[in-house]
Chains A and B, each alone.
Chain A
C-alpha cells in the first residue's frame, strides 16, 4: 500500500473536522492543566490549513504537507504551532520526491517528525506532551511492514489515554507538578485525532 496525494489531503481534512468538533473539549483539557487555549489554537490553524489546500492542485504528498506545515506555523501560535508545524514539515521533507509514498518512507518520515518535535520542544518521551503519542507510534510502525489503520488508531488511543497518569515536566502543565496527574495531555489528544484521521484516510483508500 502507498500513501497518495488524495489521502494526504483527506488526512488533513479529517484532522480538521475532528479538531473543530472537539475544539471545546481540547480547550477544557488545557484549562485543567494549562491555559485553556489549545482547542482554540488548533482549530484556528487547521481551519486555515484546509482553506489553504482547497482548490490547489498538488502533484506530491510533500507539497500538501509542506503547505499544511507552513500554515500551522504561522496561524496556530502557542507551543503547538511550532511543534505541529515542525512535525508536518519534517514529514514533508522526508517524503519529498515520492508521488505515492511507500510505507518505509512514511515510517522514516514520522521518525524524523518525532526527532524534530523533540528538538524544538527540548523534550523527551514521558514528559506528558504530544511526544507521548508520536513516539510510541513510530516504534509500533517500525515493527510492522505495511500501513494498518486499526494498528494506528489503537496505538494512538492507548498512548493518548496513558498520558493521564504522567506527571508533566514540560509545557504549561509542568507548573502544576503532581496536580497535573489525572488529566489527559491536550496536545496528545489532538495528536490522537490526527492519527485517527490518518487511519480513516488509509481505510478510505486513494
Chain B
C-alpha cells in the first residue's frame, strides 16, 4: 500500500486540521472533536443542518458546509460512524433556536449513533428532526438500502430550504421529498485500501467489475466482466429507472469513487443523457465529478433525482459550500 500519510490513527484529525486551515473565515472546528461547522454558527432562528458519517468519502461531508448547505459535519473514523457524543456537539454548536435536522445515511451504525445523539439533544431541550437517506437501488429490500451519493442532493435541498427561513418541519419535508425521489447505483473497477489495515477491500481481476457497491469498499451485489463506459451507464441507469417513479424533469449526478478520471465520468454521463433523452426525460441540471467517494476506489455511481418546481428552485438557489458551489 502506498498512501500519503503519517500515523494511520491520526489520519482523520490531521485531515480536518488541513481542511479547516484551507478555509479560514469559512469554517471552524470545535476543539477536541471531529466536528466542523460554519464559521458563523450558530445562526439565530435558522434551522441547522448536520450531516456526517465515516471519513473516506471526501469531499463529503465537511466539503458541503457552507451558506445554503450544511451547518456542520461530523467525521467518524475511516468508514466508521461517528459516536453519539460527537454528533451531540455538532447539534449543540449549530442550534440557533429553530431546531436541527440530522441527515443520516442508512447504515446500522450511523442510524444508531445519530439516533442516540438526537435523544441526548432532546434531553437538553433542542428540537431535533432526522431523515435517513436510502438511495442505493442495488439493494432490493428498501429498508436495507444504503445512503450514497444521493445524500448530496439532500444536503443541497435541505440546506437551501433552511437558508430560506423555513421551519424545522418544512425543512424535513423538503429533505424527505428528495429521499422519495432520488436513486443511485454504483460500480467499482478497483477496491480501496483502508489506511489502518493497509489491505485492499476486495480482490478484483483485471477484466472484472463489482456492480452494486456501496461507498465503504464493501463488496457489491454482483461481479461481472468489465463493461465499456456505455455498458456501465446502461446497466446503472436502467436499474435506477426501473425503481424511480416516472418524471418529466430530472437532475443527474455522475460521481467518481475517488480514482476515476473526470474524462471517464464524462463518458458515462454522455450515455446517461442519451438514455434519458430516448425515454423523453428532460435533464434540468447535471453534476459530474467527485461528490461522495470511497477513498481511492476506481469506479462511479449514477444518481437521478426527479424534480418538481419546488426542488428546481431549491437546487438553483446559491450555495457557497466548497464541494458544491451554485
Minimum Cβ distance to chain B for residue A40 (Å): 5
A32-B317 Cα distance, complex, nearest whole Å: 43
Interface size class of A (residues with CB under 8 A): 20 to 34
Binary A-proximity of B253-275 (CB < 8 A = 1, otherwise 0): 00000000000000000000000
Which of A44, A78, A120, A172 contacts B218 (CB under 8 A)? Answer: A172
Q: How far is the CA of A82 from the CA of B80 in the complex (A)?
A: 12
Contact with A along B179-218 (1 / 0, CB 8 A): 0000000000000001011010110000000000010111
**How far is B113's CA from A80's CA once the two chains are assembled, in angstroms?**
10
Q: Nearest chain A CB to B203's CB is how many angstroms away?
A: 10
Residues on B with beta carbons closer than 8 Å to the beta carbon of A34: 218
Q: Residue B302 at the A interface, CB < 8 A?
A: no
Taking the closest CB of chain B, its distance from the CB of A121, in whole angstroms, is 7
Identify whether the interface residues of B are mostly helix, strand, loop, or mixed: loop
Which of A59-67, A139-147, A175-183 sits within the interface? A175-183
A176 touches B109 (CB 8 A): no
Size range of the chain B interface in the assembly = 35 or more
Majority SS of interface residues in chain A? helix
Q: Closest B-chain residue to A43, C-beta based? A: B196
Q: Which of A35, A40, A44 has the most CB of B within 10 A?
A: A35
B78 and A81: CB pair below 8 A?
no
**Contact A37 B78, CB 8 Å, known A121-B112, A175-B218:** yes
Residues of A within 8 A of B85 (CB): 73-74
Give CA–CA (A121, B216) in the complex, Å.
Answer: 20
Per-position 1/0 for B221-257, Cβ under 8 A of A: 1000000000000000000000000000000000000
* B-contacting residues, A1-48, CB 8 Å: 24, 27-28, 31, 33-37, 40-41, 44
**Interface residues, chain B, with chain A CB atoms under 8 Å away:** 9, 54, 76-85, 107-109, 112-113, 116, 138-139, 141, 144, 146, 194, 196-197, 199, 201-202, 214, 216-219, 221
Most A CB atoms within 10 A — which of B9, B139, B141, B196? B196
Q: Are B77 and A35 in contact (CB under 8 A)?
A: no
Tell whether A77 pairs with B116 under 8 Å between CB atoms, given A35-B218, A172-B108, A179-B219: no
CB neighbours (8 Å) of B108 from chain A are 79, 121, 170-172
B76 CB contacts on chain A under 8 angstroms: 77-78
